[in-house]
A and B are shown apart, each in its own frame.
Chain A
Amino acid sequence: MAKPFNLPSELCEIIFKYINSCDLLNCCLVSRSWKMFIESTFSKQLLLTIRGDKIDLNDVFNSERHYQRFKLCQLSENRLLEILKFFSTSIMELEIEDCRIDRECDMNFDCLRELTLTDCSTTVIRLFTKANTCVNLKTLNIFQPHGRCPFRNDILTFFKSNRSLEEINLNLNESCNIFSKDISKDLKMNLKSVFLSFKSDCELQTTTLVNIENFFRSQGETIQTISLINSANLPLLHRIWNSLKVVKRLYFFSSDPFFDYDTSTLELLENNSNLLELELHALGPFTLELKDLTPFILSSNNLKALGVWTLRKDLIEFVAYNHSKLKFISCATMERDCENYYNDLKSKFGINDKLHLHQYL
């Protein structure tokens, strides 16, 4: 095969590794040999999106690209099942959005590593939750904020039969019944990361909270990352913290304007040498004061990243002088002049050279 550059193939490959998929697509237009090289080596990076009935499926099936990443949106039952059947043995990453089917169907997705289901009917979810359908799945994302929720038994079957699962991200509405019963009995997964999000106006019943608590208690030994969004999360944390011995990353977010992080939470987290990252976010007017954070920061020796909703100068200054391991401070908003202040501090004193500031809104 002709090579794009006057270099051995393995060195040409290194060059294209630094190129994002948008530029890779562009490179496919340069010449036949560039297209051939990129498609044979890099087409697995490309994300194929099929939305509605715009694309002729025969074109897709005859493509020279070896697609492994798919996003399928608003497809009819026939189109969805046709695509899944054709690619079932090659799909590694799959996202299905806004699809519904009536038929039950048996398929295996042996290569599937990451699955995202957004606003799909329970019948679509059931394609994947039968025992041993996707034995190599590592990441499961179910985003169903608008009503349709997976059946608890389907999810439970899935959890029990997929030992490779490491990460679950669930964004569910209040009618979701996964945790309305205790699912922790006889359930032993090897989860590394759990993300639970509920709608902002969702009030979880006490039994649900207890069931979530039991779930964490039963799985806590391996979990390293926990994100809790709008799940009345702090009482929950207080109850489960001692079971979560190895947690390294903890993220909270509450969009309740009256929500308050009390200092007892920070006390709870103090002296935890495992914790590497902590983010505490709340949309309301409340912000964490430096005096509340100080004991926590000083006692969390290994903390590498800290996130707060509104960043103030005093926190930057305190951290710069007092915590040599902290490398990242992130925030949604900053007090005025915060960034200039941070740059001044860095250039004038050369303190904590590796401290990075990140604003994500």
Chain B
Amino acid sequence: MDIDRPSDPQVSVVSSDGTMFHTTLKSILLSGTIKDMIEHIGEGGVENMGAIPLQNVDSKTLEIVIKWIEHHKDNIQPTSEEIKDKTADFIDPWDENFLEMDLDKLYNLITAANYLNIPQLLWLSTRKIAMLIKNRTPQEIRSLFNIEDDWTPQEIEAVQKENQWCEEK
């Protein structure tokens, strides 16, 4: 299918809780899952196809996803293979700002990006959580993710001791 054609027809998607969203073909094709679906329908079928049901994404999350794909619809998207080699790469300030959301929303976004197969969005959102963990003390991580400290002093001492074996360079 020619993705670069000048017209960018409207496409509708329906969230798991029944809310309909309208977006454009260019934007929605960033989702590998939907791209596969549309490719099955074939050329010309897009205009006549009904709303696409997305049973694994709720309306709050779908709204966030659509905001992201519409912003990035004209950007060249890296493939999953290219993302594997990515390290501390430059992050677009817009994305940085976009990812400022509470953890539950972020978890839902990760699940949706995975289900919809949007590699760049999956990379951004999982990396965001990794960045929250980096250079934090265990106690800081516990309070950030609301985790109970279930160690006895002896147990944690044993883990600390074993950690030392691995810290030497």
A71 to B135 alpha-carbon distance, docked (Å): 25
Q: Which residues of A contact B162 (CB under 8 A)?
A: 59, 63, 65
Check: A47 CB closer than 8 A to any chain B CB: yes
Q: Which residues of B contact A47 (CB under 8 A)?
A: 166
Q: Which residues of A contact B137 (CB under 8 A)?
A: 26
* A6 and B142 contact, CB distance less than 8 A: no
Interface size band for A: 35 or more
* A49 and B168 contact, CB distance less than 8 A: yes
Give the dominant DSSP class at A's interface: mixed
Q: Which residues of B contact A22 (CB under 8 A)?
A: 167
Q: Which residues of B contact A59 (CB under 8 A)?
A: 161-162
* B147 and A30 contact, CB distance less than 8 A: yes
* A60 and B165 contact, CB distance less than 8 A: yes
Check: A212 CB closer than 8 A to any chain B CB: no
Q: Which residues of B contact A60 (CB under 8 A)?
A: 165
Tell me how far the C-beta of B21 lies from the nearest C-beta in chain A, rounded to whole angstroms.
24
Check: A103 CB closer than 8 A to any chain B CB: no
Q: Which residues of A contact B166 (CB under 8 A)?
A: 21, 25, 46-49
Check: A15 CB closer than 8 A to any chain B CB: yes
Max count, chain B CB within 10 A of own CB: residue among A18, A34, A48, A63: A18
Given A50-B165, A55-B165, the answer on whether A31 and B142 have CB atoms closer than 8 Å is: yes
* A7 and B110 contact, CB distance less than 8 A: yes
* A31 and B122 contact, CB distance less than 8 A: no
Q: Which residues of A contact B167 (CB under 8 A)?
A: 22, 25
* Interface 9-mer from B2-10, B24-32, B126-134: B126-134
Check: A27 CB closer than 8 A to any chain B CB: yes
Check: B94 CB closer than 8 A to any chain A CB: no
| Number of CB contacts from chain A to chain B under 8 A | 86
A160 to B111 alpha-carbon distance, docked (Å): 50
Contact flags A58-85 to B (C-beta < 8 A → 1, else 0): 0110010100000100000000000000
* A25 and B126 contact, CB distance less than 8 A: no
Picked from B129, B138, B141, B147, the residue with its CB within 8 Å of the CB of A15 is: B129
Max count, chain B CB within 10 A of own CB: residue among A16, A21, A29, A55: A29
Picked from B134, B163, B168, the residue with its CB within 8 Å of the CB of A29 is: B163
Tell me how far the C-beta of B117 lies from the nearest C-beta in chain A, rounded to whole angstroms.
13
Check: A268 CB closer than 8 A to any chain B CB: no
Check: A341 CB closer than 8 A to any chain B CB: no
Given A29-B163, A31-B147, the answer on whether A19 and B141 have CB atoms closer than 8 Å is: no
A185 to B104 alpha-carbon distance, docked (Å): 65
A35 to B150 alpha-carbon distance, docked (Å): 11
Check: A318 CB closer than 8 A to any chain B CB: no
A21 to B165 alpha-carbon distance, docked (Å): 12
Given A5-B107, A16-B130, A32-B151, the answer on whether A23 and B135 have CB atoms closer than 8 Å is: yes
A316 to B161 alpha-carbon distance, docked (Å): 50
Contact residues, B113-169 vs A (CB, 8 A)? 114, 122, 126-127, 129-131, 133-138, 141-142, 145, 147-151, 155-156, 159-163, 165-169
Picked from B135, B147, B161, the residue with its CB within 8 Å of the CB of A34 is: B147
Q: Which residues of A contact B160 (CB under 8 A)?
A: 29
Q: Which residue on A lies nearest to B163, using beta carbons?
A: A25
Tell me how far the C-beta of A299 lies from the nearest C-beta in chain B, rounded to whole angstroms.
30
* A18 and B126 contact, CB distance less than 8 A: yes
Contact flags A135-157 to B (C-beta < 8 A → 1, else 0): 00000000000000000000000
A63 to B162 alpha-carbon distance, docked (Å): 8
A26 to B159 alpha-carbon distance, docked (Å): 10
Given A23-B134, A26-B136, A31-B151, the answer on whether A11 and B165 have CB atoms closer than 8 Å is: no
A30 to B127 alpha-carbon distance, docked (Å): 19
* A29 and B159 contact, CB distance less than 8 A: yes
Q: Which residues of A contact B136 (CB under 8 A)?
A: 26
* B129 and A5 contact, CB distance less than 8 A: yes
A6 to B146 alpha-carbon distance, docked (Å): 11
Q: Which residues of B contact A181 (CB under 8 A)?
A: none
Q: Which residue on B lies nearest to A51, using beta carbons?
A: B168
Check: A14 CB closer than 8 A to any chain B CB: yes
Tell me how far the C-beta of A353 lies from the nearest C-beta in chain B, rounded to whole angstroms.
12
3 closest A-B pairs by CB? A18-B130, A29-B138, A49-B168
A and B contact pairs by CB, cutoff 8 A, 27 listed: A6-B107, A7-B107, A11-B114, A11-B126, A15-B129, A15-B133, A17-B130, A18-B130, A19-B130, A19-B134, A22-B167, A23-B135, A26-B137, A27-B138, A28-B163, A29-B160, A29-B163, A30-B147, A32-B151, A32-B155, A34-B147, A49-B168, A50-B165, A51-B168, A55-B165, A59-B161, A59-B162
Contacts A26-B163, A31-B147 given; 10 further ones with Cβ under 8 A?
A: A5-B145, A7-B107, A11-B114, A15-B133, A18-B131, A26-B136, A26-B138, A29-B138, A59-B161, A63-B162
